[in-house]
Structure 1
Amino acid sequence: MQELLGRQIVMGQKDWENCNKDCFSGRPAIIVKERIFCQRCGSSQSISETKLPTGEHYCPVCIKYGKIKSSDYLVTSNPKVESPQTRKIHFNWQGKLTIGQSRVANRLLVNFEENRHSLVWAVTGSGKTEMIFFVIKKCLEKGGRVCLTSPRIDVCRELYPRLVEVFKDENILLLYGESEEKYRYSALTICTTHQLLHFYQAFDLVIVDEIDAFPYEGDAVLRFALMQSLKSIGRLLYLTATPPNHLLKEITGEFSIEKLPLRFHQRPLIVPEKIWYENWSSCYKNKHKMKKLLHYLKELLVNNHVLLFCPSIAYLKKLYTKLAPFFLQGELTFVFSEDEERKEKVEKMRQQKYRILLTTTILERGVTFENVSVIVMGANHSVYTKSSLVQIAGRVDRKGEFKSGRVIFFYNQNTKAIRQACQEIKGMNQLAKEWLKNEMSMVPKSSNA
C-alpha cells in the first residue's frame, strides 16, 4: 500500500467500487459539466469532441500516459494520520561552499523552516546543486519526502549519481520516460517534470531545476502536474540562471528570491564573441563556405574540445557529413533528442573521447564538460532565445582550471536575443564584481553552510 502513497493510478469504476475505502482514496478522473475537466493533467476540452461511442468522455491531452475516461477514478493510498518520524540522515558530502553559496544555502533552510517558497537565481556554474544539499537533508530528517525534478532528461541523469553519492543510505528513485527502473516508493525521487502527472499531494519539498527550460516553460499541463504533486503544506524551490520576466512577476510576494551572480570558482562568465558569418545556414554546401567554421574549430581545438550547437537536427546531420572528412575517425560525433546513443555519447564527451560534439539545444543546460569551448551556428536563428544563448555560453569554464575557453556566436543578423544574452552576461559579471568588492571582502573566503 505504501507504493501508492502519493502515487495516483487510473482505476475503472467497478474496481474502485470494490476497493477498500479505508485504505484508498479516489476522485473522478474527469469532471463533466459544460466542458470536461481532466483531474490528471488539468486540461479542459469540448464535450462534443471528447465523447466516446459508449457515451463516456476521454482526455486527449494526456492520452500518451494511458487512456483516461469519465467513468474512471484516480486512486491513491490514504496516508496514516500521524506525525512524521524524524530520522538520522547519512550525509556524505565533504565539500566546501563559498561564502555566496553558504549564504544562499542558509537562506533556503530558513525559508523551508518558515514555510516559504524559494527561487535561486544563480549564474551558470555557480554550484546550485551543492546549495540544495542541505535543505534536502533537512526535509528528509523531518521525515519528509523530496522530489528533485527537471524538464530535461540529461539534467536528471546528471543529478542522480551526485545525489546517490551524497545520500548513500537513501534508496533514490530515478524516473523518466525510458528509464529502466519501475516505480517504487522513495523518500527522495529524481524525475522529469512529465513524471509528476503520476503523483498527487506526494511531496513535502519539490525542487525544480531549470524551471525556465523547455518543455516545462509555457506548458500549463506540466505546471498543473507540479502543483498537484505538492502536499498542501509543501514547499517549492525553483532553480534557474535565466528566470523569465513573467515568472518573476508571478512569484512576487510568494517566493523568497535568492541571488548569486558568482560562479563557484569566482571567475567571470565568458562573454560571447559575435562573429559575422553570412553563409552559416548553407556553409555545408561547399568548402569555400566552410572555411570560416574550420578556421575557428582549428583555433579552439588547440586548448579545448568543442561543443558545436546547431539550430535543427536536419542542419546538424548535413553539417556533420561535411565536417567528418576533415577529422580523424572518432574525433567527432553528433547527438540529438531522439538519438538512441544519446546517454553514451554525452558520457564519452565528458570523458573527452571526442574532440567535437555537434548537438542541438538538448545540451544547452544542466550538463558539465571540462575544457570545452562553444560554437553556436546561426545564433540569430529563432530557436535560440535569450535564455538559451546565456545557458549555452554557460557551458564554458564551469569547473577545473581555466583553459582559455571561448564562446563563438556565428550570426548574420544581430537579433534581440543575441543582444540581450550578451548584455545579461556582462551585467552579471559587473554585479559579481561589485558583489565581491562590497560584500565578499568583509568575510572569510570560504565557509560551510
Structure 2
Amino acid sequence: MKERKLTPITPSSSLDLSTYLSGRSLLASEIPYPEEKLQKAEHVHVSPGLTKKANSWQCNRCGNSKQRLFGNFPCANCHQEEGCYYCRSCIMMGRVSSCTPLYQWAGPALEIVPASHLVWDGELSEGQQYASDEAVRAVETASELLVWAVCGAGKTEVLFQAIDKALQLGKRICIATPRTDVVLELAPRFKKVFPTISVAALYGGSEDRHLFAPLTISTTHQLFRFKDAFDVMVVDEVDAFPFSYDENLQWAVEKATKQIGTRIFLTATPSEKWQHECTQGKRPHVKIPARFHRHPLPLPTFKWTGNWEKQLRKGRIPAPIAKWVQQRKDSGKQALLFLPNIELMDQVLPLFEKLNPSIAAVHSEDPERKEKVVKMRRNEISLLLTTTILERGVTFPNIDVAVIGAEDDIFTEAALVQIAGRVGRSVDFPTGNITFFHFGRSRAMLRALFHIDLMNKTARKQGLIDE
C-alpha cells in the first residue's frame, strides 16, 4: 500500500492552535505551523506516534498492533541503527513512525454555545418517535443505545431531536459511517435541518478536514485523526463492512469519543451476538420494526434453480431467472439483480443484454458506479446487475430485487436482509418482489426470512402497520 502524499500546507505562525488541534491527534505535516515552534507551543501535548511494548509495536493513531503491518527503513531524522519503524496499516493517511510524534491540544476546551438549532417541520411515526425519545435520553445520561430499525424506517430523522438536545447542552457530536458516499448523502441533509451551525463532512480529500464544528459527519477512517473529541458519537450502519470486521476502526471510534460520552449505534441488521444480547436484556436498545409508511416489509420468495452457476458459465440463463427478468421488462418495472462476484457478473452481462438491452452492471471497482446509480434513479436503466456494493445506502422508489446464488457465502443474513430492504421503501410504492434464486437453502437465507418475518409480526403486535 502506497503512502498518500498530503496536500502541502503553508506554515503559519499566527494559526489558532486551539481551534486547529482541539480533539485532534495530528502529525506535524498536517498542521500549518512551524514544527520547531509547535513542540514548544503552550498547551500543545506531544505524544509518540508508535509505542514499543517488550518486542512489539503499537500505533497510537490507528491502534494497529499486528507486527506484520509494521516495517522499518533507514531514517534521516532519528539515525537509529535498527532503522525507523512505521505503521503500514494507516500509511494512506501519512506515515506514522517511531520518530514522528502526534500533537494534541491540551489547553482549555473550546466551548460550544448551548442553543437549539433544529429547523425541521416533519413528523415522526410512532416507532420513530419512541426511538427518538430514547436517543434523547441517551444524550442526557451519557449512555449507550442501539437503534435497531428496519431498512427504510427513517433512522436519520430519528437523530434530529437527539442532536438538537446535545447542542442545547453544548456538546460536540459526530455521526460516523463506514462509507464516503453515505457521508456525502448525509451532510447536506443535516446542513439543511441545522442551518445555523457549522457541519463538517470528513472523508479522504475533504476540504473540511481542519474545520472545528459542533456537528461532524465522518467516515470511520477519518476518526483515526481524533482523540477525546466528541461528547456524542453516532455510528451508522454499525454492521457494515469494513467497520464490523476491522478492530482498528472500532478502536478509532472509542478513541475519538470522550470517556464520559454518549454512544448511539444504528443498524437494520445487528450481528448475531448483538441480537442475542438484545434478547437477553444485556444491551440497551430500541426497535423500530416498521417503516414510516405503515406497510409490512416484503418477504423474500425462495426459488430453486438447479446448478445456476454451471448453467450461467455454459452461456444459459436458468429458466426461472429468465422468466423473472422478462416479467419485469414486460411490466416496465425496474429491477436489481445481485450476483456473488464481479467475475461472474462480467461473464453473464452479455446473456442478460439479450433479454433486456436497457441494462448495466456495477461493482466496487467500477469507475462509473455513481453515474450508473444516477441513471438508474432517472429510469434510464431498467435492469442493473450488481454485487453486494448496492446492498445498502441506495433507494430506488419502485423496484423489484432478485439474488442469484443466494446460498453463496458472500450473502450473509445481514446482506440478504439489507438486499430485501431495497424493495418497497417508497410511500408511493410500498410493495414489491424480492426473490432468492438458489441451488439449496442456506442458514443465512432462512435466518434472513425469519428476521424480516419477525419484524413484521412485532410491528403488527405494536399496531405499527395497517394490515
The answer, yes or no, to whether TM exceeds 0.5 is yes
| Unpaired stretches in structure 2, ≥5 consecutive residues | 1-16, 75-79
Query: Paired residue for 2:28?
Result: 11
1:103-143 deviations in Å (ceiling 9; x for gaps): 11111111210111111011111111111111111222333
4+ runs deviating over 6 angstroms: 249-254
Instruction: Give the Cα–Cα distance (whole angstroms) in 1 for the partners of residues 95 and 313 of structure 2.
Output: 47
Q: Normalising by structure 1, what TM-score?
A: 0.89
Q: Which amino acid aligns with 1:39?
A: N
Task: Mark the CA change 1:6 to 1:181 in structure 2 (over 3 Å): closer, same or farther.
Answer: closer
**Which stretch shows the higher mean deviation, 255-264 or 386-395?**
255-264
Instruction: Give the Cα–Cα distance (whole angstroms) in 1 for the partners of residues 205 and 350 of structure 2.
Output: 29
1:137-186 deviations in Å (ceiling 9; x for gaps): 12223332211111123322322232222122333222223556654222
Query: Paired residue for 1:305?
Result: 334
Query: Paired residue for 2:161?
Result: 134
Higher relative contact order (CA 8 A, sep 6+): 1
1:7-57 deviations in Å (ceiling 9; x for gaps): 221238x93675244242221111112111111111224499644444332
Query: Paired residue for 1:268?
Result: 296
Query: Paired residue for 2:3?
Result: none
Query: Paired residue for 1:383?
Result: 410
Instruction: Give the Cα–Cα distance (whole angstroms) in 2 for the partners of residues 405 and 134 of structure 1.
Output: 32
Query: Paired residue for 1:431?
Result: 458
Query: Paired residue for 1:36?
Result: 57
> Matches of residues 238-317 of structure 1 in structure 2 within 5 Å?
238-247=265-274, 256-285=284-313, 288-301=316-329, 302=331, 304-317=333-346
Task: Mark the CA change 1:321 to 1:26 in structure 2 (over 3 Å): closer, same or farther.
Answer: farther
Q: Which amino acid aligns with 1:264?
A: F
Give the total of aligned pairs: 435
Whether 1:360 aligns to 2:377 is no
Query: Paired residue for 1:323?
Result: 352
| Unpaired stretches in structure 1, ≥5 consecutive residues | none
> Matches of residues 60-71 of structure 1 in structure 2 within 5 Å?
60-71=88-99
The answer to whether the 8 A contact 2:293-2:430 is kept is no
Q: Normalising by structure 2, what TM-score?
A: 0.86
Query: Paired residue for 2:255?
Result: 228
The answer to whether the 8 A contact 1:36-1:47 is kept is no
Please tell me the root mean square deviation across aligned C-alpha atoms, in Å.
2.6
Instruction: Give the Cα–Cα distance (whole angstroms) in 1 for the partners of residues 201 and 269 of structure 2.
Output: 26
**Deviation of 1:306 (Å):** 0.7
The answer to whether the 8 A contact 1:111-1:256 is kept is no
Task: Mark the CA change 1:183 to 1:313 in structure 2 (over 3 Å): closer, same or farther.
Answer: farther
Instruction: Give the Cα–Cα distance (whole angstroms) in 1 for the partners of residues 24 and 219 of structure 2.
Output: 15
Task: Mark the CA change 1:399 to 1:144 in structure 2 (over 3 Å): closer, same or farther.
Answer: same
Instruction: Give the Cα–Cα distance (whole angstroms) in 1 for the partners of residues 248 and 207 of structure 2.
Output: 25
Q: 1:78 aligns with which of 100, 106, 117?
A: 106
**Deviation of 1:271 (Å):** 0.6
Task: Mark the CA change 1:92 to 1:348 in structure 2 (over 3 Å): closer, same or farther.
Answer: farther
Q: Which amino acid aligns with 1:65?
A: M
The answer to whether the 8 A contact 2:178-2:219 is kept is yes
Instruction: Give the Cα–Cα distance (whole angstroms) in 2 for the partners of residues 343 and 49 of structure 1.
Output: 35
Task: Mark the CA change 1:132 to 1:314 in structure 2 (over 3 Å): closer, same or farther.
Answer: same
The answer to whether the 8 A contact 1:144-1:204 is kept is yes
Task: Mark the CA change 1:110 to 1:262 in structure 2 (over 3 Å): closer, same or farther.
Answer: same
Instruction: Give the Cα–Cα distance (whole angstroms) in 2 for the partners of residues 49 and 26 of structure 1.
Output: 22
Task: Mark the CA change 1:18 to 1:109 in structure 2 (over 3 Å): closer, same or farther.
Answer: closer
